[in-house]
Structure 1
Amino acid sequence: MFQLKTEHLLIRDMRPEDEDAFVAISQDEKYQRFYDESDCDPNKYRKLTQLFIAQANEVPRRSYQLAIEHQATGAFIGTVCLRLEDNRQASMGCGLSRHHQGQNLMIEAARALADFGFQELNIHRIYAETIGENKAAIHLCRRLGMRQEAHFHQHRFFKGQWWDTVVLAILKSEWEQLPR
Structure 2
Amino acid sequence: MDWEDAGMTPTTAPVTIRTDRLVLRTYRSGDHQDLLTFYGRSDVCRYLFNAPWSPEDAREAVQTRMSRRDLAAGAVALVVEYEGRVVGSMSAWLVEESGCTAETAHTAEVGWAFSPEFGGRGFATEAVAALFDLVFATPRLRRVVAEMDARNESSARLARRIGMRREAHFRQNAWIKNEWTDTVVFAMLRSEWHSNA
- 1:21 alignment counterpart: 34
Task: Please state how far the C-alpha of 1:44 moved relative to its aligned partner.
Answer: 2.7
Cross-structure match for 2:165: 147
**Deviation per residue, 1:33-70 (Å, 9 max, x gap):** 1135x5434233321100111222x6953211101011
Contact kept, 8 Å, 1:125 with 1:171, in 2: the verdict is yes
Following TM superposition, by how much is the alpha carbon of 1:3 offset from its aligned partner in structure 2, in angstroms?
A: 1.2
Measure, in 2, the Cα distance between the counterparts of 1:171 and 1:126: 6
TM-score (norm 1): 0.89
The separation in 1 between residues aligned to 2:39 and 2:45, in whole angstroms, is 7
Say whether the 8 Å CA contact 1:132–1:164 is kept in structure 2.
Answer: yes
Paired AA for residue 93 in structure 2? R
Change (3 A) 1:176 1:15: same
Output the amino acid matched with 1:44. D
- Residue 129 of structure 1: SS of its match in structure 2? strand
Q: CA deviation at 1:159?
A: 3.4
In 1, the alpha carbon distance for the partners of 2:180 and 2:43 equals 19
State the 1:8 CA deviation: 0.6
* 2:62 paired residue among 45, 49, 55: 49
* Change beyond 3 A, Cα 1:41–1:76: closer
> What SS does structure 2 have at the residue aligned with 1:108?
helix
Q: Match of 1:67, as an amino acid?
A: V
Which one of 43, 47, 61 corresponds to residue 73 of structure 2?
A: 61
- Counterpart amino acid of 2:170? F
Q: Any conservation in 1 of the 2:71–2:135 contact (CA below 8 Å)?
A: no
1:55 and 1:112 map into 2 onto residues whose CA distance is 17
Distance 1:153 1:93 in 2: 20
Q: Structure 2: 5+ residue runs without aligned partners? A: 1-5, 7-14, 96-101
Q: Which amino acid aligns with 1:63?
A: A
- For the 8 Å contact 1:23–1:46, the answer to whether it is kept is no
- The answer to whether residue 52 in structure 2 is matched with residue 40 in structure 1 is yes
Match of 2:120 in 1: 102
Q: CA deviation at 1:107?
A: 0.5
Aligned counterparts of 2:150 and 2:71: Cα–Cα separation in 1: 35
Q: Hey, what's the Cα distance between the residues in 2 that align with 1:141 and 1:169?
A: 8
User: CA 1:109–1:82 in structure 2 vs 1: closer, same or farther (change >3 Å)?
Assistant: same
Instruction: Tell me the alpha carbon deviations over residues 111-166 of structure 1, each in whole angstroms, 9 at most, x when there is no partner.
Output: 01101211x21220000000000000011111111111111101122333211000
1:112: which partner in 2?
130
As a proportion of its length, which structure holds more helix?
Answer: 1
Question: Helix, strand or coil for the counterpart of 1:106?
Answer: helix
Give me the identity figure in percent.
28
AA matched with 2:120: G
Q: What is the root-mean-square deviation in Å for CA atoms of aligned residues?
A: 1.8
